[in-house]
Structures are given as C-alpha cells and as structure tokens.
Amino acid sequence: MAPAGPSSFHVTHVVIGSNGHRYFHIENPRLWWPRRCGEADLYDVVVRLLRDGVEIDRRSFRHGLRTIELDRTDLLDADG
C-alpha cells in the first residue's frame, strides 16, 4: 500500500480457514480530506492471496484513510 509518493510497505499474514480479519498499523499516514478541506491522498492497495507460495487471487483498489472522533462535550456551560 503506498500513497502517491515514494513510501511503501507490505504485511504477510497466515490465513487459517475461509475467512478472517487482518489489522495493521500505518505510522503517520497521509489522511484523506473531504472536498475543499485539503489534499485527497489516496493509497494504492494490492492484496494477494498465496497458496504454497503461488498467487491464487489478487485485488487492487485505491483507498483513503481518515479518522473520526465523537466529541461528547456538553453544549451548555455551568449556567445552562
């Protein structure tokens, strides 16, 4: 997975069974910003499924990374 720039990395994970999840950490990612809010950095992602070292499936797509926080602070001050 790599943004429109010089960085890249890969992760290898052993799959047991017919489904599952894989989570990984990306240090200091370039975040995607909504229209008119900043750059739309997108990552080129390639997922390869190997069996005994032979590629049996592959998916490629572009994906943006974003964080969302729910700020649960009160809208009222101490006086109401």
| pLDDT recorded at residue 59 | 93
For residue 47, the cross-strand partners are: 59
Is the confidence at residue 24, as pLDDT, over 70? yes
27-61 pLDDT per residue, tens: 888 888 877 887 778 888 888 888 898 999 999 99
Contact criterion met (CB below 8 Å) for 61 and 46: no
Q: Please report, as a single letter, which amino acid is at residue 26.
A: I
Give the CA count within 13 Å in the CB-facing half-sphere of 38. 8
The pair of structure tokens assigned to 38 is 């900043």
| Predicted confidence band of residue 1 (pLDDT cuts 50, 70, 90) | very low
CB neighbours of residue 74 within 10 Å: 6
Work out whether the CA dihedral 58, 59, 64, 68 comes out positive or negative: negative
- What average pLDDT does the structure give for the chain? 79
User: Could you tell me the residue ranges of all domains in the chain?
Assistant: 1-7+27-67
- Report the share of the chain in percent with pLDDT over 70: 85
Interval 6-35 mean pLDDT: 78
List b or e across 36-48, with b for residues whose CB sees 16 or more CB atoms inside 10 angstroms: eeeeeeebeeeee
